């Protein structure tokens, strides 16, 4: 990771971020995969790491 995001792996699928183009950056500076974000935010309106509302 280059320090852009607070976390270096996706909290949903627990895989490292490899391709930046598929990463969704949450306003709290946490990041998750775009595909994981789509599924997650349909269920919960919060960041999966810090549980701040998005
Ligand atoms: Zn993921
Ligand atoms: Zn967060």
pLDDT one digit per residue (tens) for the chain, 54 residues: 456 899 999 999 999 998 878 999 999 999 999 999 999 999 999 999 999 998
**pLDDT in the model for residue 24:** 95
Question: 3-state SS of the chain: helix, strand, coil percent to 5?
Answer: 25, 20, 55
Calculate how far, in angstroms, residue 45's C-alpha sits from the geometric centre of ligand 1: 17
DSSP 27: T
Calculate how far, in angstroms, residue 35's C-alpha sits from the geometric centre of ligand 1: 7
Ligand number, closest to the Cα atom of 19: 1
User: What tokens appear for 25 in the block?
Assistant: 């950056």
**pLDDT in the model for residue 1:** 44
Q: Which CATH architecture has domain 1-54?
A: 2-Layer Sandwich (3.30)
**pLDDT in the model for residue 54:** 87
Calculate how far, in angstroms, residue 32's C-alpha sits from the geometric centre of ligand 1: 6
**pLDDT in the model for residue 46:** 97
Calculate how far, in angstroms, residue 1's C-alpha sits from the geometric centre of ligand 1: 15
């Amino acid at each position: 990771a280059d320090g852009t995001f607070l976390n270096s792996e996706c909290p949903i699928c627990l895989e490292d971020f490899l391709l930046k183009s598929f990463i969704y950056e949450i306003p709290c500076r946490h990041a998750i995969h775009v595909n994981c974000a789509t599924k997650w935010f349909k269920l919960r309106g919060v960041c999966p790491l810090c549980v701040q509302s998005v």
